[in-house]
Amino acid sequence: MNPTWKDHLTQAGAAIENDRAIHFGSPEKELQAAQSGTILADLSHRGIIGISGEDSQTFLQGQTTNDVRLAAGQAQHNSLCTPKGRMLANFLLWRTDDGYALQLPVELQAAIQKRLTMYVLRAKVKLRDASEESVRFGVAGADAGHLLQGIFGELPTDALSITRNERGSVIRLGPTRFEVLAPPQQGPALWAELNKSATPVGSACWEWLEIHAAIPIILPQTQEQFTPQMANFEVLSGVSFNKGCYTGQEIVARTQYLGKVKRRLYLAHVDADNAPQPGDEVFGAAETSGTVVNAQPAPGGGFDLLAVIPTGAVDAGTIHYKTPDGPMLSILPLPYPVSPE
């Protein structure tokens, strides 16, 4: 986290742990605001890998699941897989003036940057930690667009499109969710303007919104466990099936065209005594198991989560958390359609 930005957040009332804004004084009220109000969240828990050089497009095209030939003003979901087609990380990717930016959990940033560097070889590509080159915060809620329009003027109209001006960039993540990227010197003033009408919240509130958007976030505990299809990543347009070869492409393509996806990402709620953690197991009929991907406290109590679960187990009925006779999961509707297999 940029030290100056960290000082600003502390002065604004943030409780910060491990360079993450945990809350701004009242986690319960902040979660209620995330559900029904307009909120403002620091996103320093996301790191950024900057990729530049004349071969950056060709390099990324051979490493990632999506087609990185983006038009100006576009972002995309994308991911990096092992040769066996298992996800090492997923990220939001967009074009920059000198190449690309990959935004992903800060816990994975250094390791993924190191892994990508191993494949540069003689390509004219440079990778760097660009996390402190900007400050980033999320704005969400029914009034988010109106609030941002009053500050930035023109806003992106389509999902994962971007507008830029001298104050910074705005990425539309969904109908009522936006990410703002600003030069560090602009950050405090922008935060203060937005804070007049939006409730500042901790990172858990933003992650809860990501869960309800059914956008999985691969973390260290879940690396190499899922193909992109298990994580619904092709539904999120995070996979291109006509761009050519990349690491893991053969397995991902075979799964799409010849196989059957027997596990899928589901949105669920559970009333458990302890917070579910990424990597925890869930159990269905005949003790078939699935895996928690992300989980956060829910506004009404309990926890909302994303889990990759065998489709047959969900069709059969009861799913339990942690043990075959643990608390029952309530499967919730996804915000996007997933075609039946």
Question: Same structural domain for residues 249 and 295?
Answer: yes
Per-residue model confidence (pLDDT) at position 151:
93
Question: Same structural domain for residues 100 and 187?
Answer: yes
Question: Same structural domain for residues 275 and 320?
Answer: yes
**CATH number for the domain including 238?**
2.40.30.160
Question: Same structural domain for residues 161 and 259?
Answer: no
Domain count, the chain: 2
Boundary residue ending a domain (214, 247, 273)? 214
Question: Same structural domain for residues 20 and 117?
Answer: yes
Question: Same structural domain for residues 200 and 247?
Answer: no
Per-residue pLDDT reduced to its tens digit, 119-171: 998 899 999 999 999 999 999 999 999 999 999 999 999 999 999 999 999 99
In a domain, 157, yes or no: yes
Question: Same structural domain for residues 183 and 112?
Answer: yes
Question: Same structural domain for residues 284 and 233?
Answer: yes
Boundary residue ending a domain (214, 244, 270)? 214
Question: Same structural domain for residues 73 and 202?
Answer: yes
Q: Domain span at residue 295?
A: 220-332
In a domain, 341, yes or no: no
Using alpha carbons, select from 274, 222, 297, 219 the residue that is nearest to residue 34: 297
Per-residue model confidence (pLDDT) at position 3:
86
In a domain, 340, yes or no: no
**End-to-end CA separation in angstroms for the chain:** 43
Per-residue model confidence (pLDDT) at position 26:
95
Question: Same structural domain for residues 127 and 28?
Answer: yes
Per-residue model confidence (pLDDT) at position 341:
61
Question: Same structural domain for residues 197 and 234?
Answer: no
Residues in the chain predicted with pLDDT less than 50, given as ranges, are none
Boundary residue ending a domain (196, 214, 232)? 214
